[in-house]
Amino acid sequence: MNLVFNLHRLQKIDLQIDAIIARSKQITQILESDQSVQDAKNAQHTARMLVEQSHRTLRSLEEELKSLQVKKETDESSLYGGKIQNPKELKSLQDEIESLKKRISLLEDQILDAMEKSEQAEHTYQTAEKLVLQAEAAFAESMASLLGEQKQLQKQKENLEAERATLVSAIPNDMMENYTMLRKQKRGIAIASNEDGACSVCGAELRPEEIQASRSPNQIVCCSSCGRILYSG
């Protein structure tokens, strides 16, 4: 078997494995960094706080109204009960009732306003709740598709690794060491092709004797410019 051909084939497999590893890493990062669900949950939390706050406001206004109404009823029964005869006292009681009526009317307006605000807050909360469900569904969908892809990549990688092992067993150890070292030094590309008389990686023109030698089955010829092993397939 042609040694350089095997090395060239090995490099193809290694580049595919590298790409699979890179994509797989990317998928893990995408899945780990997904913020959409958390953002939707934060918005829902804020909306819930606003609902609770609006309920508290409403309750306190209603309690105030109740106490004013009780006071007004008490004043009215004193006014009409006949126990109080003093005109000055009666006048002050009437004044107080009038003032209570005004405060009650004002408070009723405030309660209507607070009720409206409370309804709005509840509506916002319901929308936020729906958005959480949507974000969760979208995330689950993208997770399923990405996990499916990752599984497929894993399978491809296993097949390539099996193919690689067979190939490596046909390559002498010292050549493997040479290849591994070159890949490390040359950004993953140890083998360059002869492309119309030039090195496919660095572009240097090849001498005729280099081309000639690179065609012989078991001779290793390196590009005199970049040092990569030349393959003339």
| Contact present, 104 and 111 (Cβ < 8 Å) | no
Query: And the tokens for 184?
Result: 């490390």
CB of 44 to Zn ion, least distance (A): 59
Instruction: Say how far residue 214 (Cα) sits from the centre of its chain.
Output: 50
- If one asks whether residue 200 binds Zn ion (CB under 5 A), the answer comes out as no
- If one asks whether residue 226 binds Zn ion (CB under 5 A), the answer comes out as yes
How many residues form the binding site for Zn ion (CB under 5 A)?
6
Closest by CA position to 162, among listed 53, 8, 16, 2: 16
CA distance linking residue 148 with residue 141, whole number of Å = 11
Measured at the CA of 76, the angle between CA 73 and CA 82, to 5 degrees, comes to: 135
- If one asks whether residue 191 binds Zn ion (CB under 5 A), the answer comes out as no
- If one asks whether residue 190 binds Zn ion (CB under 5 A), the answer comes out as no
Q: Which is nearer to Zn ion, 156 or 193 (CB)?
A: 193
- If one asks whether residue 153 binds Zn ion (CB under 5 A), the answer comes out as no
Among 202, 211, 220, 222, binds Zn ion (CB under 5 A): 202
* Contact positions with Zn ion (CB under 5 A) in 102-141: none
Binding segment toward Zn ion, per CB under 5 A, in 12-20, 59-67, 162-170, 222-230:
222-230
- If one asks whether residue 206 binds Zn ion (CB under 5 A), the answer comes out as no
| Contact present, 218 and 3 (Cβ < 8 Å) | yes
- If one asks whether residue 225 binds Zn ion (CB under 5 A), the answer comes out as yes
**59 CB contacts (<8 Å, ≥6 apart)?**
none
Query: Strands (DSSP E) along 60-206, which ranges?
Result: 191-195, 198-199
Binding segment toward Zn ion, per CB under 5 A, in 18-26, 42-50, 126-134, 193-201:
193-201
Residue type, 140: A
- If one asks whether residue 223 binds Zn ion (CB under 5 A), the answer comes out as yes
- If one asks whether residue 36 binds Zn ion (CB under 5 A), the answer comes out as no
CA distance linking residue 43 with residue 127, whole number of Å = 10
Binding segment toward Zn ion, per CB under 5 A, in 92-100, 105-113, 154-162, 192-200:
192-200
CB-CB neighbours of 217 under 10 Å? 9
Length of the chain: 233
CB of 166 to Zn ion, least distance (A): 29
- If one asks whether residue 20 binds Zn ion (CB under 5 A), the answer comes out as no
Binding segment toward Zn ion, per CB under 5 A, in 37-45, 135-143, 180-188, 221-229:
221-229
CB-CB neighbours of 107 under 10 Å? 17
- If one asks whether residue 199 binds Zn ion (CB under 5 A), the answer comes out as yes
Provide the binding-site residues for Zn ion, judged by CB under 5 A: 199, 202, 204, 223, 225-226
